[in-house]
């Protein structure tokens, strides 16, 4: 009977003491939500979103570039010569990093999936792996372009007080101090005489 189908399904699902089907269903639903899996899919959940496909494609290209430029060395050996990896894969890594930052920004505004939250766990894990390889394993550090202006401005502000005090010292007229000696105060006896004279 269709009217009793819900009660029938409920009784079948919860018939055992552990309620294993309900427990597993709850576990998978919570994992799906916590991993933001819906953010990798299109609105209708018919497949991966275009941005996710583009990101994963660029991620695979980055890993392939890393492998080709390792020159037969294993990753976990001493980092003798990873300059080829840093030089040849810089463009691919930068494109991947820029795409990831754009996806984060777009995802906060709703994005392709319609869910405004974190990116899905596949994209975040892929970027974490790439960044760890790039910075820790290969030690490819991109110099910050703002370093030179920051150092210049900081030096200017540190040097300004020195310039101020030096210029004020050089341009001010140095006057010799003239000591004015105080007049001697008369003794107490003469003061008493003066008071008696006027009284």
Residue 88 placed within a domain: yes
Q: Give the chain's domain count.
A: 1
Backbone phi and psi for residue 53, each to the nearest 5 degrees, phi listed first: -65, -45
Assigned domain for 53 exists: yes
This prediction's pTM: 0.60
Torsion of CA 48, 50, 56, 58, to 10 degrees: 170
Both tokens assigned to 10: 């409920």
Q: Band of the pLDDT at 148, cuts 50, 70, 90?
A: confident
CA distances from 113 to 34, 36, 79 (A): 16, 10, 41
Distances (CA, A) of 7 to 2, 14, 17, 104, 125: 10, 10, 17, 43, 41
Residue 197 included in any domain: no
Range(s) of the domain holding residue 128: 47-137
pLDDT value at position 121? 93
User: For residue 60, what pLDDT is reported?
Assistant: 96
Q: Is residue 145 part of a domain?
A: no
Q: In the prediction, which pLDDT does 174 show?
A: 59
pLDDT of residue 101: 93
In the predicted model, is pLDDT for residue 127 greater than 50? yes
Q: Would you say residue 34 lies in a domain? A: no
Provide the pLDDT for residue 42.
86
| Token code pair at residue 160 | 């300004």
**How far is CA 141 from each of CA 62, 88, 137, rounded to the nearest angstrom?**
16, 14, 11
> Which pair of tokens denotes residue 199?
């009284």
159, part of any domain: no
Least confident of 2-11, 12-21, 134-143: 2-11
Confidence of residue 156 (pLDDT cuts 50, 70, 90): confident
């Amino acid at each position: 009977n269709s009217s009793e189908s819900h009660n029938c399904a409920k009784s079948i699902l919860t018939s055992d003491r552990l309620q294993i089907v309900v427990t597993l269903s709850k576990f998978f639903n919570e994992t799906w939500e916590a991993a933001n899996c819906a953010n990798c899919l299109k609105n209708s959940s018919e497949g991966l979103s275009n941005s996710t496909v583009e990101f994963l494609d660029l991620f695979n290209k980055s890993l392939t570039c890393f492998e080709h430029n390792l020159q037969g060395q294993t990753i976990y050996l001493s980092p003798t010569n990873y300059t080829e990896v840093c030089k040849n894969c810089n463009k691919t890594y930068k494109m991947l990093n820029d795409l990831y930052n754009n996806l984060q920004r777009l995802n906060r505004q709703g994005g392709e999936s319609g869910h405004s939250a974190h990116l899905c766990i596949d994209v975040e894990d892929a970027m974490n792996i790439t960044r760890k390889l790039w910075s820790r394993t290969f030690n490819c550090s991109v110099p910050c372009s703002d370093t030179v202006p920051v150092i210049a401005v900081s030096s200017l502000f540190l040097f300004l007080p020195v310039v101020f005090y030096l210029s004020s010292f050089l341009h001010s007229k140095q006057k010799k101090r003239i000591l004015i000696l105080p007049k001697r105060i008369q003794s107490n006896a003469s003061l008493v005489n003066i008071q008696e004279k006027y009284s």
